[in-house]
């Protein structure tokens, strides 16, 4: 079974440009999460999809960030326009919708975004 995959692994863009990150969750996982880790800081929650619906987007920093999940499969996170403070590692995770109890989230390797 393939794990969570993310593309690209590393992106370097200039301030003001647009970048789109992609996440492919584990097949059959309805929950999809985006997180971000700014260098040396904690991993912070950005948002949570259940299938194609945004369940919780309370962690999105501002309206320069747009997340979508087409058809409840893969998800994209677009940053437009990018600012220097957007640099960091963006993680995606997925989990099954369980019957209760904390379901394990499976993480992708992350996309390292560098804004110069």
- For another protein, the closer CB: 82 or 110: 110
Among 42, 63, 70, 71, binds another protein (CB under 8 A): 42
Cα separation, 30 vs 89, in Å, equals 23
Contact 20, 76 (CB under 8 A): yes
Among 13, 51, 72, 106, binds another protein (CB under 8 A): 106
User: In 45-72, which positions are buried (b, 16+ CB within 10 angstroms) versus exposed (e)?
Assistant: bbbbbeeeeeeeeeebeeeebebebeee
**Cis (ω within 30 of 0) for the bond into 9?**
no
**Cis (ω within 30 of 0) for the bond into 82?**
no
Binding mask 45-84 for another protein (x = CB under 8 A): x--x------xx----------------------------
Longest dimension (CA), the chain: 45
Among 44, 51, 64, 78, binds another protein (CB under 8 A): 44
Among 54, 61, 104, 116, binds another protein (CB under 8 A): 104
Q: Is 108 in the site for another protein (CB under 8 A)?
A: yes
Footprint of another protein (CB under 8 A): 3-4, 31, 33, 35, 40-45, 48, 55-56, 91, 93, 95, 100-110
């Amino acid at each position: 079974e393939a794990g969570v995959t993310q593309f690209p692994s590393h992106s370097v863009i200039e301030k003001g440009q647009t970048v789109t990150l992609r996440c492919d969750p584990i097949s059959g996982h309805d929950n999809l999460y985006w997180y971000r880790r700014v260098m040396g800081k904690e991993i912070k929650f950005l948002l949570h999809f259940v299938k194609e619906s945004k369940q919780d987007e309370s962690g999105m920093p501002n309206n320069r960030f747009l997340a979508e999940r087409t058809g409840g499969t893969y998800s994209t996170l677009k940053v437009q326009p990018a600012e220097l403070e957007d640099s960091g590692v963006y993680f995606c995770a997925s989990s099954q919708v369980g019957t209760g109890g904390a379901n394990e989230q499976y993480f992708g390797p992350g996309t390292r975004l560098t804004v110069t």
